[in-house]
């Protein structure tokens, strides 16, 4: 694991404030604003292969032109552990890296464990995927195709909707 160098802290603070940070709750009253619920509901799986089900994928419209973050939930219905080792978003970025937040610091990780009969959640302020060196600026209402590489299950392609910066997903 490596921590983010101080030279990039200003950019990361901007990203976290505009799209990656926060607990995922809305406002002081706990109710999402109209802009927060503008994306389509993901009550059904976005993708499913073997024992893994990918739910609620989304990419908030980036506040800057060269960096974005994406989030999703992986549900493992099987008895064995799997591991998300790599992610590619070929049409958008050649650099997709996985991160978590520990003690208010963004830390790069090599992958994520998906526990048996458990759930891996990528969300704002926690585990997430950073996309840098964007080839184009994703627009709300569009989508991007991501390929997730799992150690045991293999590859899963997921269509990820681009949502407003204020989007708050429902609980999976």
Contact 146, 47 (CB under 8 A): no
| pLDDT-based confidence at residue 146 (cuts at 50, 70, 90) | very high
Whether 127 shows a pLDDT value over 90: the answer reads yes
Render pLDDT for 10-43 as a digit per residue (tens, 0 to 9): 334 334 434 444 433 333 333 333 333 344 444 4
Per-residue model confidence as pLDDT tens digits over 49-108: 999 999 999 999 999 999 999 999 999 999 999 999 999 999 999 999 999 999 999 999
Q: Please state, for a pLDDT cut of 70, what percent of the chain lies above it.
A: 73
Angle, CA of 138, 108 and 49, to the nearest 5°: 65
Q: Look up residue 170 and give its DSSP letter.
A: P
Question: Which of 87, 72, 71, 68 is closest to 134 using CA atoms?
Answer: 68
Pairing between strand 82-88 and 143-150?
A: antiparallel
Residue-wise pLDDT tens digits, 34-51 = 333 344 444 467 899 999
- Is 2-24+44-163 CATH 3.90.226.10? no
Taking residues 146-172, report their average pLDDT. 93
pLDDT at 15: 42
Strand locations in 13-118, DSSP E?
47-49, 52-60, 67-76, 82-88, 93-102, 105-109, 112-114
Spell out the domain ranges in the chain. 2-24+44-163
Beta-carbon contacts of residue 155 (< 8 Å; ≥ 6 apart):
147, 148, 149
């Amino acid at each position: 694991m490596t921590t983010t160098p101080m030279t990039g802290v200003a950019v990361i603070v901007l990203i976290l404030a505009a799209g990656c940070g926060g607990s995922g709750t809305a406002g002081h009253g706990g109710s999402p604003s109209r802009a927060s619920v503008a994306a389509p509901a993901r009550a059904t799986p976005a993708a499913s292969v073997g024992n893994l089900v990918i739910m609620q994928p989304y990419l908030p419209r980036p506040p800057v032109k060269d960096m974005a973050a994406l989030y999703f939930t992986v549900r493992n219905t099987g008895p064995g552990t799997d591991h998300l080792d790599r992610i590619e978003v070929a049409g958008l970025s050649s650099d997709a890296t996985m991160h978590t937040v520990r003690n208010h610091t963004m830390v790069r990780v090599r992958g994520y464990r998906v526990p048996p009969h458990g759930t891996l959640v990528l969300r704002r302020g926690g585990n997430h995927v950073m996309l840098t060196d964007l080839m184009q600026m994703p627009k709300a209402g569009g989508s991007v195709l991501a390929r997730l590489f799992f150690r045991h299950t293999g590859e899963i392609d997921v269509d990820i909707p681009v949502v407003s910066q204020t989007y708050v997903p429902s609980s999976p």
